[in-house]
Amino acid sequence: MRGKRNVEKPKDLKESMKNLLFFLKPYLIPIIISVILAGVGSVFSIIGPDKIKEITNIIVAGLHTGIDLDKVKSIALFLLTIYILSFIFTYTEHFIMATVTNRFTKKLRSEISEKINKLPLKYFDTNSYGDILSRVTNDVDTMSSTINQSISSLVSNITLLIGSIIMMFYTNWILAITAIISSLLGFLFMGGVLSKSQKYFEKFQEELGNLNGHIEETYTGHNIVKVYNGYASEVETFDNINQEMFKSSMKSHFYSGLMQPFMGFIGNFAYVCVCVIGSYLAINNYITFGVIIAFTIYARLFTQPLSGIAQVATSLQSAGAASERVFEFLKENEMKSEKTKIVLNKDEVKGKIEFKHVNFGYNEDKLIIKDFSKKIKPGSKVAIVGPTGAGKTTLVNLLMKFYDITSGDILIDDISIKNLTRENIHDLFIMVLQDTWTFEGTIFDNIVYNKENVSLDKVKEVCKTVGLHHVIKSLNKGYETVLSDSETLSAGEKQLLTIARGMIKNSPFLILDEATSSVDTRTEELVSLAMDKLSRGRTSFIIAHRLSTIKNADVILVLNEGNIVEQGTHEELLEKNGFYANLYNSQFESISE
């Protein structure tokens, strides 16, 4: 299980919102159109009560003299028209925002995907995969849904709020002041709630990432958890994180949940105040009955956007917390940009490699590789051995340019890797690792991974060479068998598949990193034979703890604390009776004991 569960908490909300606006910049025109449509739709809603007031006054007056039905029909037709237009504008606005949101989400996920490919390996060594996935999925989805629902809603509600205030003063200033004063308490309450609940929304998003990280780690190592009876411990850890999520979620939703009922209460309170004051004014003939009817609607229109704004504010808080995490990830330090015109063609590479006074440390204070120098002849088989932590895998990571060397240089065919792109270097190497990787797809697709124009006959020829063909033939659909949870290969068969994949790639350099450590002795012989075939004609680097597997290496580099302490063939090193001999003999001592 890998990575830290806790990720540093993002802090700068304003900066995240600026980044969000930057990403939305290409969509400003449709967003502006959507905003205008939302505003116009709200304006139509504001006009309605004034026309209802006219109809009411006509009907009240008509009770004494006779109702002007033509006038009523004319106003009713006008109302029907503006409500239909309001529906059309609102629908169009929602359609535009849905389109914008999906395109924004697509672009943001593409940016994250590109960012993942630009991040150094060190980032993934120090952050849990689950937390990274949570930022790509949960946090982006939170931002997407908020943008889709909140922007137009916010504009509509603000338009309704301002428009209703204007129309209230236009209709009757006394009732307008009554409605506004009775609703001011809602604004003050909403501001206090927002300041209290934001930190809990941020905490919830953080804990959600931690929870995903824990789940990813636990189920990746599910067998280990069961074998070591670690179920109770992992459940306890899960419960602790889940409890923290529960607390932050409860607090955030408790505070934000107060806004809706409280704003509803404020709306009803304003409604009652308008009715009481309006009745007094109507009795004293200051206003007509139609004004009271219109004002009760305006009071609703005035308090309705307050509730809507409160709801939008809650969504924006959650989106703000999510955007902090997303943009924090997008602002992580990337691998250094590479600007070079030198390209090594893998079909023309001779296979010479030279390490020149290489120094490297994951931290500047502690060097792991110290003044490492060695020339590797083309086509030679180089074994790298040493105790755990000696720098074996680190040396390979430097060669593959997964990490940048602190000082010194590595040359491929006398060209510094500093002058070559990572893509060019990776194209020159075949890697067979201890942890095999297959994806859900056919066996054919797994073998020809990222290689075009490879025929089935070529794949069969390679599989026969590594001893995998008879295994594949025994499957129901042969090379078209889909590898999945229900149809899979053994560890040794997967290792043979990765070796076949390397043969298809056909690059001049080969790296074997503990490629036989996870298989049994019989399978190890098969894999070793396949690896010998794979290494023919290639400059090969073999990292192995089982020293019996590297007896035929042209040169063995013995590393200890980042330095070459011995080098030579297997027989030469045994004759020296030094560090390598002790490592080699210790294998048999542990067996005899």
Tens digit of pLDDT for each residue in 442-460? 889 888 888 888 889 988 8
The values of phi and psi at residue 389, to 5°, are 90, 5
Task: Give CA–CA dist 400/7, Å, rounded.
Answer: 28
Q: With a cut of 80, say whether residue 417 has pLDDT above it.
A: yes
54 lies in which domain range? 13-330
Whether 339 is covered by a domain: the verdict is no
Going across the sheet that includes 539-543, the strands are 429-433, 509-513, 539-543, 381-385, 555-560, 563-568
Query: What's the pLDDT tens digit per position in 479-490?
Result: 888 887 655 777
The closest of 324, 308, 307, 317 to 196, measured between CA atoms, is: 317
pLDDT tens per residue, range 17-28: 666 666 666 666
CATH classification of the domain holding 463: 3.40.50.300
Pair (277, 413) in one structural domain: no
Q: What single letter denotes the amino acid at residue 328?
A: E
Question: Is 175 within the bounds of a domain?
Answer: yes
Q: Are residues 406 and 288 in the same domain?
A: no
3-state DSSP assignment of residue 127: coil
At residue 5, the pLDDT reads: 37
Q: Both 281 and 376 in a single domain?
A: no
Phi, psi of 354 (to 5 degrees): -135, 130
Task: Express each pLDDT in 492-546 by its tens digit.
Answer: 788 888 888 888 888 888 888 776 655 556 666 666 777 777 778 888 888 876 6
Residue 491's pLDDT is what? 77
Q: Residue 168: give its domain's CATH number.
A: 1.20.1560.10
**168 pLDDT band (50/70/90 cuts)?**
confident
Token output for 233: 């411990």
Same domain, 402 and 295: no
**274 and 357 fall within a common domain:** no
Mean pLDDT for 162-175 is 78
Q: Are residues 27 and 167 in the same domain?
A: yes
Same-domain status, 451 and 312: no
Whether residues 320 and 377 share a domain: the answer is no
Residue 478 lies in a domain: yes
| One domain for residues 138 and 261 | yes
Q: List, for residues 335-375, the tens digit of each pLDDT value.
A: 777 777 688 888 888 888 998 988 888 777 777 888 888 88
Q: Does position 13 have pLDDT exceeding 60, yes or no?
A: no
* 298 domain-assigned: yes
Residue 482: how many CB atoms within 10 A of its CB? Answer: 15
589 vs 593, higher pLDDT:
589
Residues 151 and 289 reside in one and the same domain: yes
Neighbours of 311 (CB within 10 A): 19
Assigned domain for 528 exists? yes
Strands 539-543 and 381-385: parallel
Statement: the pTM of the whole predicted model exceeds 0.75: no
CA distance 14 to 377: 56
Q: What is the reported pLDDT for 590?
A: 45
φ/ψ bin of 383: left (φ > 0), alpha (ψ from -120 to 50), beta (otherwise):
beta
Cβ pair 315, 154 in contact under 8 A: no
Which tens digits make up the pLDDT trace of 27-84?
Answer: 667 666 766 666 666 665 656 555 555 656 655 565 555 565 677 677 778 777 777 8
SS3 content of the chain, % helix, strand, coil (to 5): 65, 10, 20
In angstroms, rounded to a whole number, what is the distance separating the alpha carbons of residues 357 and 61? 102
Q: Within 10 A of 285 (CB to CB), how many other CB atoms are there?
A: 7
Q: Are residues 313 and 399 in the same domain?
A: no
Domain ends where: 261, 296, 330? 330
- For range 105-114, the mean pLDDT: 83
pLDDT single digits (tens) 247-299: 887 877 777 677 667 766 776 777 777 778 878 787 777 777 777 777 777 77
Count how many Cα atoms sit within 13 Å of the Cα of residue 384 in the half-sphere of its side chain.
Answer: 25
How many domains does the structure of the chain reveal?
2
6 in any annotated domain: no
* Structure token digits, residue 574: 């045994």
Same domain, 514 and 423: yes
